[in-house]
Amino acid sequence: MSRSKTITEALKYVSNHPQPSTDDMTQTPTWELVGRRLFEIANNPDVKVRGSMARATRAQKIILDRLVGTRRAGTHPAQVKSDEIDFVDLTVGVLDPNLVGDGEDE
């Protein structure tokens, strides 16, 4: 586990192992610490801090691009794959439930 990993390998490892591998952070590899911090930024924005929602969205984009991939210009749109990534819903508590409709027009 001490060998270096690619960004994709590190993010896959962190997403598959939500708990740190050791309690001693001095023994945790750097790639694991960076991956955990990126997931923490993506899933726990602080609405009281200016720019944290943008930072969380950017972190989610980085994770999605590395784990799922992007398409090159001129190629067909991405096809359905079995990869799933769960993110925290960042709109909870921000949107007023009275303003959000149920999708039906009256």
Low-confidence ranges of the chain (pLDDT < 50): 106
User: Which pLDDT value is given to residue 72?
Assistant: 72
Threshold 0.75, pTM exceeds: no
Q: Domain coordinates of the chain in residue numbers? A: 1-106
**pLDDT tens sequence across 33-56:** 999 999 999 998 888 888 999 999
Torsion-angle region of 85 (φ positive above 0: left; ψ -120 to 50: alpha; else: beta): beta
User: Which pLDDT value is given to residue 88?
Assistant: 80
Quickly count helices (H) and strands (E) in the chain. Answer: 3, 0
